[in-house]
Structure 1
Amino acid sequence: MMLRIHKILNNNAVVVLDEGKEKIVMGPGIAFQKRKNDIIPRTKIEKIFVMEEENEKFQELLRTLPEEHIAVAEEIISYAEGELHAPLNNHIHIALTDHLSFAIERIQQGYQIQNKLLNEIKVLYKKEYQIGLWAKQLIRERLGVEIPDDEVGHIALHIHTAKMDAASMNKTLQQTTLIRDMIELIKQQLHIDIDEESISYQRLLTHLRFALNRIETGELFHTIDEDMLRLIQTKYEKEFACAISMARYAKEEYGIQFPDAELAYITLHIQRLIRKS
């Protein structure tokens, strides 16, 4: 079936009516020298979107944002889907494109972009962060703009939350912030500096992330027998006390309850951290 242009959004994006439903069709130069009702050559079509809930918002972005920003965002999304071997939620075409365009404009105006969760993002979302680094190079090549690593972290979070099984951006930010705060609590309570490049630190972060996911989904935790729990409490008294403080903070601030067995495993991770530091 031939697709005819219903509405032109920009040089590279048009709206078509297909079986009474609006679809957004994208491809380089797809609308060049075209008018309403013209037929779109199928060879020019790269992507077709059906945006059920946010169709108007996406069309507005495509009409108003710089075309080069949109093209770069779409290239990053395609690369991410290839690297993750999975499609991303359609919402990323709005969320990442809007975020990226605004960030690029702020950088060009001389604003500093900051990301307080950067260290945690690097560890918890390694693959997404690597995609962000690829995006950094692409933006430099395509737009001549140098984005900071803090912005790479923001891109990584957008990609992570667009994965089909991932939590929302708010949930992801909340979880990552809680993990950062818990690490800060370890530093303060035990008066240590933590090597954030160390395997011990990375294992603790990963363990906390999976523990929080298990609490969120109601999955069963590893069990630990009473004798082993008492041994850990006695042998690593200050580390166990620190784990209890972390659990109390999670309960008071976020209503998250860590089971006792989990505190024992966190204690062992803290002990390794102290040994390495």
Structure 2
Amino acid sequence: MAFRIHKILNNNAVVVLDEGKEKIVMGPGIAFQKRKNDLIPPGRIEKIFVMEEENEKFQQLLRTLPEEHIDIAEEIISYAEGKLQAPLSDHIHIALTDHLSFAIERLKQGYRIQNKLLNEIKVLYKAEYEIGLWAKQLIKERLGIEIPDDEAAHIALHIHTAKLDAASMNKTMRETTLIHELVDLIQTELGILIDKESISYQRLLTHLRFALSRIENGEPIHSMDEEMLALIQTKYAKEWACTQKAATYAEKEYGIRFPEEELAYIVLHIQRLRKR
């Protein structure tokens, strides 16, 4: 189906009217040497967007951001959908494009990009982080700019939160930050340095993530008999005291209450870490 151009946003994006509704149509060079009311050949169209709530914001980004940044963001999104074998929320076209362009400009100006949640993101959102590393290589090839792994992790979070069944960016950041802070607290209290590449660390993070999910959704906790619970509290008294401090922190700062059984399982994970 051929569309007639209603508004040109940039060389690769135009607005068309389809049954009175504005749609954003994208494709390489789709608006090159075109004017309003010209027809777009269907073979040139790669993507069509209907954004009910954020249509104006997306149009503004397409008009104002460098086209090469927009093209890279769209390529990352397409690659992510292919790797995850699932569609992403339309909002990612705004959120990732805006974020990526800002990050690229900061790097060009010599700013450092840091992400204190890098280690947690690498473990908890492994598939998305690998997409972030792919994006890192793409940006280097296209723009000659080396983005740090910290930025690859930012990209990973945008992709994760755009999955249709995922929590919002704020909620994901809050949960990942809490996990980061709990691991820091464990290290400080026990005077240990956790190997962030170890399987034990990865298991601890994964357990904490699912524990938070179970608590938030009111799901049953893995049961533990009283005798086993008492044994853990006695045998690993130092680790038990540490998890209680962590639980107090989570409740005070985040309003999240860990049941005793959950703390006992965390103790076992900590014990494995200390053995290393």
Give the TM-score, by structure 2 length: 0.98
CA offset at residue 221 of structure 1?
1.6
Unaligned runs of 5+ in 2: none
Structure 2: distance between partners of 1:145 and 1:2: 38
CA offset at residue 143 of structure 1?
1.1
What is the aligned partner in structure 2 of residue 111 from structure 1? Answer: 111
What is the aligned partner in structure 1 of residue 148 from structure 2? Answer: 148
Q: Confirm whether residue 186 of structure 1 aligns to residue 186 of structure 2.
A: yes
What is the aligned partner in structure 2 of residue 32 from structure 1? Answer: 32
The residue matched to 1:210 in structure 2 has which SS? Answer: helix
What is the aligned partner in structure 2 of residue 60 from structure 1? Answer: 60
What is the aligned partner in structure 2 of residue 94 from structure 1? Answer: 94
Amino acid at match of 2:44: K
The residue matched to 2:3 in structure 1 has which SS? Answer: coil
CA offset at residue 79 of structure 1?
0.2
Please list the CA deviations of residues 12-43 of structure 1 after superposition, one character each: whole Å capped at 9, or x if unmatched. Answer: 00011111111100000011111111111110
The residue matched to 1:35 in structure 2 has which SS? Answer: coil
**Aligned ranges for residues 64-213 of structure 1 at < 5 Å?**
64-213=64-213
Amino acid at match of 2:139: I
Please list the CA deviations of residues 204-236 of structure 1 after superposition, one character each: whole Å capped at 9, or x if unmatched. Answer: 001101111112222222111111111111111
Give the TM-score, by structure 1 length: 0.98
Aligned residues: 276
Unaligned runs of 5+ in 1: none
Structure 1: distance between partners of 2:19 and 2:247: 55
Structure 2: distance between partners of 1:145 and 1:267: 44
RMSD: 0.8
The residue matched to 1:223 in structure 2 has which SS? Answer: coil
- Identity rate, percent: 78
Please list the CA deviations of residues 154-213 of structure 1 after superposition, one character each: whole Å capped at 9, or x if unmatched. Answer: 111111111111111111111111111101111111111111111001100011011111
Structure 1 stretches of at least 4 aligned residues deviating more than 6 Å after TM superposition: none
CA offset at residue 2 of structure 1?
3.1
What is the aligned partner in structure 2 of residue 233 from structure 1? Answer: 233
CA offset at residue 82 of structure 1?
0.4
**Aligned ranges for residues 223-262 of structure 1 at < 5 Å?**
223-262=223-262
Structure 1: distance between partners of 2:147 and 2:4: 39
CA offset at residue 129 of structure 1?
0.6
